[in-house]
Amino acid sequence: MSAKSIFPSITAQLIAVTVFCFLLDRAGLVSGFAFTFIPEQFFQIRENYFWLPAFLYVLPSMFTHTLAHAGWGHLIGNMLFFLAMGPILERVLGARRFLLVYVAGALLSALAVLVFLSPLGPEGEAVVYLGASASVSSVMGGVLAAAPQSIIGFLPVVNFYIKAWMVVLFFYFEQVTVLTSLPLDAGPSGSALVHLVGLFIGYVVTRFAGDKHGKESQE
């Protein structure tokens, strides 16, 4: 058994930390709002100073927003997708490169928000971003690049195996449909943009950082 076939510890640790932060927020011990990414903060600081100090100020939250979730449904949905895809990619890439895919998805998707989306909502309120979906989307893109034939489910009634590429492509076309059918704002279309950027980042980073000779066999 190769080192890449061992227990996916990074996936487990990321899930544990994310759930722990959510529970702290639910218990009122830590405000989940402190983890969120607020693009308007960048533009306010840039207006008074310069883009570099503004970027450095929001940089931590460009990742920590993955630790905050709006509710149980938000958390469980993201973690189920991550649990299905994360171990596959971690075993293929190894812990360090897998973590690179996860973090790159969060950071570069947040950067896309700064570039393409308004920091203000329809009533002039500052838009708040939270959730691990950008990083999870990045992991999905990585799986599509490195292990698309991996089996992640089985439908016994019809004797049908659900493979990773099927789930990723369904997710991709769902996001494209949302993005192209609604005005681009901080609502569903903005979320779709973030997810698509995450998919792209994960695919590209995995193609460049992945060990082509280290792919796990598909069974």
Q: What is the pLDDT of residue 210?
A: 65
Range of the domain at 34: 7-209
| Residue that wins the pLDDT comparison between 186 and 119 | 119
Return the minimum-mean-pLDDT range out of 17-21, 49-53, 152-156, 170-174: 152-156
- Does the residue 219 lie in any domain? no
- Does the residue 171 lie in any domain? yes
Cβ atoms of 92 and 215 closer than 8 Å: yes
Return the minimum-mean-pLDDT range out of 98-102, 107-111, 181-185: 181-185
Beta strand pairing call for 151-155 and 160-163: antiparallel
Q: Give φ, ψ of 154 to 5 degrees.
A: -145, 130
Burial class (CB in 10 A: 0-12, 13-18, 19+), 215: middle
pLDDT band at 61; cut points 50, 70, 90: very high
Amino acid, single-letter form, for residue 27 = A
Q: What is the CATH number of the domain that holds 185?
A: 1.20.1540.10
Domain total in the chain: 1
Please enumerate in sequence order all residues whose Cβ is within 8 A of that of 125, keeping only pairs 6 or more positions apart, or say none.
none
- Does the residue 2 lie in any domain? no
Q: Please, what sign has the CA dihedral across residues 142, 135, 41, 185?
A: positive
